[in-house]
Amino acid sequence: MAAGRLAGFFKSLDRIIYPGKWSSRAINTLVSEHNAKWMQDSSRKSPMQLINEVPPIKVEGRIVACEGDSNPALGHPIEFICLDKKDPAICKYCGLRFVQHNHHH
Ligand SMILES: [Zn+2]
């Protein structure tokens, strides 16, 4: 488990860098507080998990302007993305994926 590795990390840190300065109890308190915060957050999905659930947006035309509509992150300028490639293009600001919708005449 990550928690076990983290605890081991702090213990080795204590032994090597701070010999005798931190009691193991203080380290355990630090680690458990960190884990409690982590556990609260783990019930929610990370932004990357959420964005990966959004299917690529089909766009007519070669260029799409992304303003981060589902994720109005601060500092998202209008990003013009070229869809010339076959693979979905990913907005570098919000992670939304766009794919060119080809008309079949
Ligand atoms: Zn975007």
CB 66 within 8 A of CB 98: yes
State in Å: Cα 77 to ligand 1 middle: 8
How many alpha carbons fall within 13 Å on the CB side of residue 25? 0
Q: In the sheet where 97-100 sits, what is the strand order?
A: 57-59, 97-100, 89-90
Residue 93 has pLDDT above 80, yes or no: yes
State in Å: Cα 42 to ligand 1 middle: 25
Residue 84 has pLDDT above 80, yes or no: yes
CA distance 9 to 31: 10
pLDDT of residue 2: 56
CA distance 14 to 16: 6
State in Å: Cα 65 to ligand 1 middle: 8
Domains annotated on the chain, with CATH: 2-42 (no CATH), 47-100 (2.60.260)
State in Å: Cα 19 to ligand 1 middle: 49
- Per residue in 17-76, pLDDT tens? 544 555 666 666 666 665 666 556 566 777 778 778 888 999 888 999 998 765 555 678
Higher per-residue confidence, 35 vs 91: 91
